[in-house]
Amino acid sequence: MALALVLSTALLALAGIHLYWGLGGRWPGHDEASMVEHVVGRTRGMRSPGLLASVAVALALAAGGVLVAATLTSTVWDPQLEAARWVMFVVFAGRGLATYVPPVFRYAEGTPFATLNRRAYGPLCLAIALGILVLQL
């Protein structure tokens, strides 16, 4: 069950990063504008996501991490947990695949986000989806 531990840790780390952004963190940028260019992909008139949005995403990711970790301790089949993990699979697979559908992120062309999305964000989402799928089977 090392896979569940790795996935759970990754999801909790991603939750922490989103919380950091919500609290005003600027990495991977150096100010608000560069952070938006790296994380959101917009450059003109766009502000970083607010505290509420960032906390909502952080909580969803943390819940996903806990849900995946539950596979480490669960000894009986739980249809609700299984259904929740299938929902996670669909969300992460959809986000990962959207990276490679040109119209979806067209707004971000020419920004650092576009490169990071193709090289890191999309592949990470697909890797998480694959890991969840393996746990489900």
Which pLDDT belongs to residue 28? Answer: 86
Helix (H, G, I), strand (E, B) or coil at 137: coil
- Of residues 22 and 73, more confidence is placed in 22
* Separation of alpha carbons 92 and 128, rounded Å: 7
User: pLDDT by residue (tens digit) across 35-72?
Assistant: 888 888 876 666 777 889 999 999 999 999 999 988 87
pTM over 0.85: yes
Whether 22 contacts 50, CB under 8 Å: yes
> In whole numbers, what is the pLDDT of the chain averaged over residues?
89
